[in-house]
Amino acid sequence: MHAFDVLGDPIRRRILELLTSGETTSGLLTEAVRAEFGVTQPAVSQHLRVLRDTGFANVRPEGTRRLYTIRGERMAEVDEWVQRFRPFWEKRPDGLVSPHPPQDRERHRTTRDTRASDMTDHQRTQRTLEATTLRGAPARAVVLRREFPEPISGVWDACTSSERLGRWVGPVSGDFTVGGRYQLEGNAGGIVEVCEKPNRLRVTWEFDDAFSVVEVHLSETDLDRTAFELAHVCAAVDDDHWITYGPGAAGVGWDIMLIALEHHLGTGTADFDGAAWTASAQGRASIAAASSGWARAHIADGAPADVARTAGERTRAFYTGDDGS
């Protein structure tokens, strides 16, 4: 079957979109697709079979579950075909820089679908672990990288304005000047160590007796697009919490935060209901994919595969409140 015959079906495209965040169980994929398209479980199973048989997806058993991932080879075929059309939207001497005429760009940007149920459409998060130090001791940083289709000035303001932070992180008091102290309501607080507009923000992250550091880097990648990197540096990687949940304990929380930020940047509102999203089929599928992504990052950092996957599964169960069966 030709690649575009496979991708011509919206349900199969949606399944692949859900898989871009990482390995996901067939149960969560089925639940998310049924919620969005109103189709039956056998119908979703048939689409999964087509993706397997045509080489777009891999599946592996794990106990009673079946875990799906994307296969890159067929997507490479699609990319190769699309490449021949790239000159039609890349910048050229005649000044053409976008498939949308200048007068339509703002309308195109402001009419993006930003419903909470579609948040994973925009997730293209890279997750890594990096060795570093904290207060002179060995530490690990959980690092998330992604791109937002927004100007760097807007992303910076969303990350440093108390009023805007309240719309996607939660109520915050204090100030974000260097040396200033901030406090998130019911969450962490700390001191602003670096604030270099519009590129770098570094704060201490203090909660109960735990001390860590969060650093955000922003850079402009293109017209109205911003590369976003967040590193959460944690000193203790051998404590019970890390052993039980691995890097996903902190990482998945930031994954959810970035979904809220995406929603806020797209709408300017504070109507993203994190609890409702987490309880939805879409939310559970995204959390499962993010947990698997952190397990893979853990393995790449040297953890035994079985240990990393078990920790990732515990993280998924913690955030979703179910066993994924």
Q: Which of 41, 38, 7 minimizes the C-alpha distance to 27?
A: 41
CATH class of 3-97: mainly alpha
Distance between CA atoms of 261 and 238, rounded to whole angstroms?
31
Percent of the chain with pLDDT over 90: 36
Task: Decide yes or no: CATH 3.30.530.20 for domain 105-320.
Answer: yes
What's 13's DSSP letter? H
Average predicted confidence (pLDDT) for the chain: 82
Q: Is 107 exposed, middle or buried (0-12, 13-18, 19+ CB in 10 A)?
A: exposed
Q: What integer pLDDT is reported at residue 90 of this predicted model?
A: 55
Mean pLDDT of 238-248: 83
Label residue 243 by pLDDT band (50, 70, 90): confident
- The torsion region of residue 199 among left (phi > 0), alpha (psi -120 to 50) and beta comes to alpha
- State the CB neighbour count (10 A cutoff) for residue 252: 27
Q: What are phi and psi of 311, to 5 degrees?
A: -65, -40
Q: What integer pLDDT is reported at residue 193 of this predicted model?
A: 96
Distance between CA atoms of 85 and 97, rounded to whole angstroms?
14
- The torsion region of residue 303 among left (phi > 0), alpha (psi -120 to 50) and beta comes to beta
Label residue 323 by pLDDT band (50, 70, 90): low
More confident residue, 227 or 76: 227
Label residue 270 by pLDDT band (50, 70, 90): low
Q: What integer pLDDT is reported at residue 128 of this predicted model?
A: 92
Q: What integer pLDDT is reported at residue 95 of this predicted model?
A: 42
* Dihedral sign (CA 141, 265, 223, 8): positive
**pLDDT tens digits, residue range 25-47?**
888 888 888 877 888 888 889 99
pLDDT at 152 over 60: yes
Q: Which of 213, 206, 210, 149 minimizes the C-alpha distance to 182?
A: 206
Mean pLDDT of 175-186: 91
Residue type, position 88, single letter: F
- Report pTM: 0.68
Residue 228 CA from chain centroid, whole number: 11
pLDDT at 313 over 80: yes
Domain spans of the chain? 3-97, 105-320
Could you tell me the two tokens for 166? Answer: 């309240």
Query: Contact at 8 Å (CB) between 232 and 284?
Result: no
Which helix (H) or strand (E) segment holds residue 300: the answer is: helix 281-300
**Same CATH fold assignment for domains 3-97 and 105-320:** no
Distance between CA atoms of 209 and 201, rounded to whole angstroms?
23
**pLDDT tens digits, residue range 73-123?**
888 888 888 877 766 655 444 444 444 333 333 333 333 333 333 334 334
Q: What integer pLDDT is reported at residue 232 of this predicted model?
A: 95
Distance between CA atoms of 148 and 155, rounded to whole angstroms?
8
Which helix (H) or strand (E) segment holds residue 307: the answer is: helix 305-320
Name the maximum alpha-carbon separation found in the chain. Answer: 61
pLDDT at 188 over 90: yes
Query: Contact at 8 Å (CB) between 198 and 152?
Result: yes
